[in-house]
Amino acid sequence: MPIADLRALLRPLKEAGKRIDFVPPWASLPEGNEALIRQSAARCDATVVSSS
């Protein structure tokens, strides 16, 4: 997804004061990725995950 599209998608959440988190990829630690995503989803209103 182009960054401009992502910003437009997240803008209403940000304006509403929602907590948004970003989880970058760790190619060498796939289990770690899953744990980070679960933690983020538990504490934030939205989680953005990058695939590369």
Residue pLDDT, tens place only, 23-44:
887 666 667 678 888 999 999 9
Output the CA–CA distances (angstroms, integers) from residue 39 to 5, 8, 15, 22, in the order listed: 25, 24, 23, 11
- The distance in angstroms from the start CA to the end CA of the chain is 12
40-44 long-range Cβ contacts below 8 angstroms, 24+ apart: 43/19, 44/18, 44/19, 44/20
pTM, full prediction: 0.73
Closest CA to 51 of 30, 23, 25: 25
Domain ranges for the chain, please list them.
Answer: 3-49
Give the pLDDT score at 52.
Answer: 66
